[in-house]
Amino acid sequence: MKTIKLLALLAIFVGFNSCSNDDDDDPTLLQIESESVVNFYAPQSADYSTNPPTYNGAFTKFDFSTGLATTSETEWDIAFRGTSIVVNGGMSFGATDEPSRNGNAAAYFATGTLASVDSVNTTLLEQDSVNGYVLSNWYDYNPVNHIITPTAGKIIVVKTRDGKYAKIEILSYYKDAPAPSEITVDIATNDSRYFTFNYVYQPNEGVTTF
């Protein structure tokens, strides 16, 4: 009888230890983050004496892991200046004051809404190059009133510098995100380069779903 009891206890111990090891091999995933950024300022200067005009000034960098702007030379994922958006991966296009690319970031445009784009198509990811920025066509420009509006249905999907993923919907290029019908010449002239956008960040490396 004692032998049977000892064997039963041993079986329970082995089973418990096995479950504990399984738990160690399957760590809890970090929670997906959904955030809004308002009035993310991305100023630039322009020299109109050249043809074409020369744009300069530091890019304003953004780090998805902190959800904040950063001045770090290495810990950034995307960066903004005027209408230009660059990723921390690939090669410089050659514009003045471009940040050095020292990460492995890449991006592409998906069609849909922020909610409907629920996974990453890694085959579409591209990096900046000497031929241009991968995210150069995020907006529509009206040459009559010079108003810039984010292209409807265009979602930016980003692979971050360290192998995580995010998706972005740009809502406005103007301070306090006025409705398109409310954008006056004064706003277009004096209150531009203030990005408002929503984003979702997948903080688990290699996980391609949101």
* 131-187: pLDDT as tens digits: 999 999 999 999 999 999 999 999 999 999 999 999 999 999 999 999 999 999 999
Q: Residue 142 belongs to what domain range?
A: 29-202
Cα–Cα distance for residue pair 94/32, rounded to 1 Å: 35
* 80-118: pLDDT as tens digits: 999 999 999 999 998 999 999 999 999 999 999 999 999
Residue written as token pair 């983050």: 33
Q: Per the structure block, which two tokens stand in for 11?
A: 């079986």
Residue 193 lies in a domain: yes
Cα–Cα distance for residue pair 88/30, rounded to 1 Å: 23
Residue 19 lies in a domain: no
Residue 126 lies in a domain: yes
Residue 173 lies in a domain: yes
SS3 42: coil
Q: Are 174 and 197 in contact (CB under 8 A)?
A: no
**Residues in contact with 171: Cβ distance below 8 Å, sequence separation at least 6, in sequence order:** 150, 177, 196, 197, 198
Residue 118 lies in a domain: yes
User: Can you count the helices (H) and strands (E) in the chain?
Assistant: 2, 13
Q: Looking at residue 158, what DSSP letter applies?
A: E
- In the sheet that 106-111 helps form, which strands lie side by side, from edge to edge? 33-41, 192-202, 165-174, 154-159, 106-111
Please tell me the total count of domains within the chain: 1
How far is the first Cα of the chain from the last one, in angstroms, to the nearest whole number? Answer: 55
- The amino acid at 9: L
Residue 92 lies in a domain: yes
**Mean pLDDT for the stretch of residues 45-72:** 93
Model's pTM, two decimal places? 0.85
Q: Are 104 and 161 in contact (CB under 8 A)?
A: yes
Q: Are 193 and 173 in contact (CB under 8 A)?
A: yes
Residue 24 lies in a domain: no
